[in-house]
Structure 1
Amino acid sequence: MSMAGNLRKVTGLDKVSGLRKVARLARRRTRVDLSHPARSPLGSAVVNCVAYQDGARVPGGRDLVDTVERVRKKDNGFVWLGLHEPTDQEFVGIADLFDLHPLAVEDAVEAHQRPKLERYDETLFAVFKTVCYVEHKELTATSEVVNTGEIMVFVGTDFVITVRHGRHGSLGPLREELEADPHQLSKGPAAVLHAIADHVVDDYVNVTDSVQADIDQVEADVFAENGARADAGRIYQLKRELLELKRAAVPLARPVQELATRPIRAIDPEIQAYFRDVSDHLLRATEQIAAFDELLNSILQAHLAQVTVSQNEDMRKITAWAALIAVPTMVCGVYGMNFEHMPELHWTFGYPLVLGVIATICLVLYRGFRRSGWL
């Protein structure tokens, strides 16, 4: 039976007896380490369930109900439950067990939320937009540059629930880093929330640095010798991808600022100092994104100006050659009217003279156009 199925049995039962019953059912199945896979080998949305006491990982007890029951018998521990794209059915028992607000649960399941921070009694609910840079050999008008996902975090007095959406942004490496620093992890669920916020914002900085290389390449192509022939679609594509990054980073400024400055019961004052550092990094990322957006606007305007100048040069060349062709066309048209009495019509040197006049006029016009830069 899956862990989500066990959790659903808690609904409608006496709390203590229900916990013990589900715990007995959990002990009958094989324990599986769910630390890193995107989806659990058991087929549920549960990626990991770990208890911590005084900053140290408590061995064993990967079943959620059993783990929560043991942690709540003590006052210095918490449970970290990791989920990946859970369904409504998989979240029912979890929401009842941790007394999560239905609106927050709905947001966590449905995803596609803006970065935000909400308080529900003793529980904090935070939404982070994750980003990653998509490697590509050559930037085209259809290249995907920035891929986004989401991480929702429930923070209580004795639990942290992380809900991840998307194929990137795994928290396994982050969990290992925190476990390597028991002093920081001993500060409770707020330390995990800070680590996640710091991890997400660091990704913003890394992605903006990577996007800068694409912008530099586009800028170099636009201002090259044949810059007017550069593909404007690449510039528009970069602006669209930069907009995705902007939607992820900019709205997060207010929640992080609130975590860093306002007194929140679930956040230890010592942890708030760390959130101020996250706020500084986020400010750097948002300023860089805004600068990139302005730079792309300037590159696009420069490209359009180059196209206009190139078209004007082409029109000047066409006009100059048309003027050169008009001279022999006019003279030949006059002598092609076949009148009997025309000047120099029967003169022996009339034909060479007309050709010489045509050549002279064309040569004078050509030199004039060359001197003015039209040819």
Structure 2
Amino acid sequence: MSLKTCAKPIKSHPVGRSCDFDASSCQARRGQPDMFTAFARFADGTAEQIASLDVLGPAWAQDGVTVWVDLEAPTPEEIEQLRRISALDGAALDACGRGDPRPRIEEFEHYLFLVMYGAFAPREGTEFQPRRVAAFCGSRFLVTIHHEPLRTIAAMRERCSKIGHQILARGPDFVLYDIIDMMVDRYVEVTEHYERLVEHLEEESLDDDVDAGIVQMVSRLHRELLELRRAATSKRDLIAPVAKGEFDHISENLGQRFTRLRDHLVNVIDTIGTLRDRLDGVRDNYHSALATRTSEVMRVLTGYAAILLPISAIAGVYGMNLRSWPGTEHPLGFWIVLAFMAAVGATMFLYFRWKRWL
């Protein structure tokens, strides 16, 4: 039996929106070569790597063959060539190029179509942005299409280059599970990355000289954690029907494993909620420190204003130049008043220092 498929959809499970998707990200990366990877396991148990789509056609048509095909940043011509070879649904393949704004899972007669988002830790100065991968999983084939490099796909590519016959012998659904498993592990790693950032901000928010830039950092992390939570929630909802065994193209033996992945995503979502609460605490720490510094400055300024108040009153009274004021005609009158003003100021300063107001 050759690997020909039917493009009639049976049921579709759209999943909640994971992130705002820019269709321009689906364009092939300029200046970089398109990447094609394919591994095939034949009926006699041997396996080999397929060099190109031209070679894939004859291998795909053989009976008893199991194939994993991965396309990174494919051109429209490559998508069309893959459609002719595999007979996959044209609308689903077109969706790989347009960029569906949300994860989804759709069952066709001979395969399962999934749109998923992978996570990666953002570099310094960049924001979190999920990376999208589409997958077609049939009884004898798995096709993955994405437009950005994915560490999970690279890891699976390396494993297949070493023990491809063993991996493909378990079936395409097991290969799909391994890819999703590594994607979930990346969600855990990214969450741990943000946890370290939050811990650093918590320590920094308790410093006396905390900078106002911490508020912008907290706001940015709040936004990124929200995006991460949306992506993790959508992936959990996508995995849920697979874990329940609702699709014939996924082995029942994988149900418990997908349940474990779903539980890991639930833990990720809970951890993200905790991190967002801790970020609120960081913001509160900053505002508390700011209020404390402001109160300290106002207390000092008020103390010095109180010291200058009687001195200003004395200077104002003796500055009226009335002959009736005592001491105005005395040759040392100016110095006596000046000494009295200094004594009043010094007395109040020492009193405030004793009360620890200054």
- Judge same fold: TM > 0.5, yes or no: yes
Separation in structure 1 between the aligned mates of residue 259 and residue 328 of structure 2, nearest angstrom: 96
Separation in structure 2 between the aligned mates of residue 54 and residue 300 of structure 1, nearest angstrom: 62
1:165 maps to a residue whose letter is H
CA 183–218 in structure 1, closer or farther in 2 if over 3 Å, else same: same
1:159 aligns with 2:141: yes
Aligned equivalent of 2:36 = 47
1:339 is paired with a residue whose SS is coil
Contact 1:228 1:306 (C-alpha < 8 Å) held by counterparts: no
Aligned equivalent of 1:24 = none
1:222 aligns with 2:222: no
Give 2:95's match in structure 1, choosing from 99, 107, 119: 107
Give 1:293's match in structure 2, choosing from 276, 279, 288: 276
Separation in structure 2 between the aligned mates of residue 360 and residue 57 of structure 1, nearest angstrom: 102
1:263 aligns with 2:246: yes
1:128 is paired with a residue whose SS is strand
CA displacement at 1:185 relative to structure 2: 3.4
Separation in structure 2 between the aligned mates of residue 94 and residue 212 of structure 1, nearest angstrom: 42
1:123 aligns with 2:111: yes
> Gaps (5+ residues) in structure 1?
1-14, 16-38, 137-142
Separation in structure 2 between the aligned mates of residue 194 and residue 304 of structure 1, nearest angstrom: 46
Contact 2:201 2:214 (C-alpha < 8 Å) held by counterparts: no
Give 1:363's match in structure 2, choosing from 346, 352, 357: 346
Larger RCO: Structure 1 or Structure 2 (Cα < 8 Å, ≥ 6 residues apart)?
2
Separation in structure 1 between the aligned mates of residue 193 and residue 44 of structure 2, nearest angstrom: 35
More moved, 157-166 vs 92-101: 92-101
More moved, 160-169 vs 172-181: 172-181
Aligned equivalent of 2:16 = none
1:114 is paired with a residue whose SS is coil
CA displacement at 1:264 relative to structure 2: 0.8
Instruction: Give CA-to-partner distance per residue, 1:144-165, whole Å, 9 cap, x none.
Output: 2645322211112222111122
Aligned length: 329
User: 5 Å matches for 1:236-275?
Assistant: 236-275=219-258
1:282 is paired with a residue whose SS is helix
Separation in structure 1 between the aligned mates of residue 108 and residue 331 of structure 2, nearest angstrom: 108
Separation in structure 2 between the aligned mates of residue 287 and residue 313 of structure 1, nearest angstrom: 39
| TM-score relative to the length of structure 2 | 0.80
CA displacement at 1:265 relative to structure 2: 0.7
Aligned equivalent of 1:144 = 126
More moved, 182-191 vs 56-65: 56-65
2:326 is paired with a residue whose SS is coil
Aligned equivalent of 1:310 = 293
Percent identity, aligned pairs only? 23
CA displacement at 1:280 relative to structure 2: 2.0
Aligned equivalent of 1:84 = 72
CA 358–247 in structure 1, closer or farther in 2 if over 3 Å, else same: same
CA 272–56 in structure 1, closer or farther in 2 if over 3 Å, else same: farther
Give 1:331's match in structure 2, choosing from 292, 314, 319: 314
1:133 aligns with 2:121: yes
Separation in structure 1 between the aligned mates of residue 341 and residue 100 of structure 2, nearest angstrom: 74
- Root-mean-square deviation (CA), in Å? 2.9
Contact 2:53 2:81 (C-alpha < 8 Å) held by counterparts: no
Separation in structure 1 between the aligned mates of residue 34 and residue 97 of structure 2, nearest angstrom: 11
Separation in structure 2 between the aligned mates of residue 308 and residue 259 of structure 1, nearest angstrom: 52
Separation in structure 1 between the aligned mates of residue 281 and residue 44 of structure 2, nearest angstrom: 51
Instruction: Give CA-to-partner distance per residue, 1:3-39, whole Å, 9 cap, x none.
Output: xxxxxxxxxxxx9xxxxxxxxxxxxxxxxxxxxxxx9
1:261 maps to a residue whose letter is K
Instruction: Give CA-to-partner distance per residue, 1:308-336, whole Å, 9 cap, x none.
Output: 22112212212221222222222112211
Contact 1:50 1:57 (C-alpha < 8 Å) held by counterparts: no
More moved, 169-178 vs 194-203: 169-178
> Gaps (5+ residues) in structure 2?
5-27
Separation in structure 1 between the aligned mates of residue 196 and residue 44 of structure 2, nearest angstrom: 40
1:326 is paired with a residue whose SS is helix
Separation in structure 2 between the aligned mates of residue 103 and residue 250 of structure 1, nearest angstrom: 26
2:82 maps to a residue whose letter is I
More moved, 170-179 vs 231-240: 170-179
1:221 is paired with a residue whose SS is helix
Aligned equivalent of 1:11 = none
Contact 2:43 2:63 (C-alpha < 8 Å) held by counterparts: no
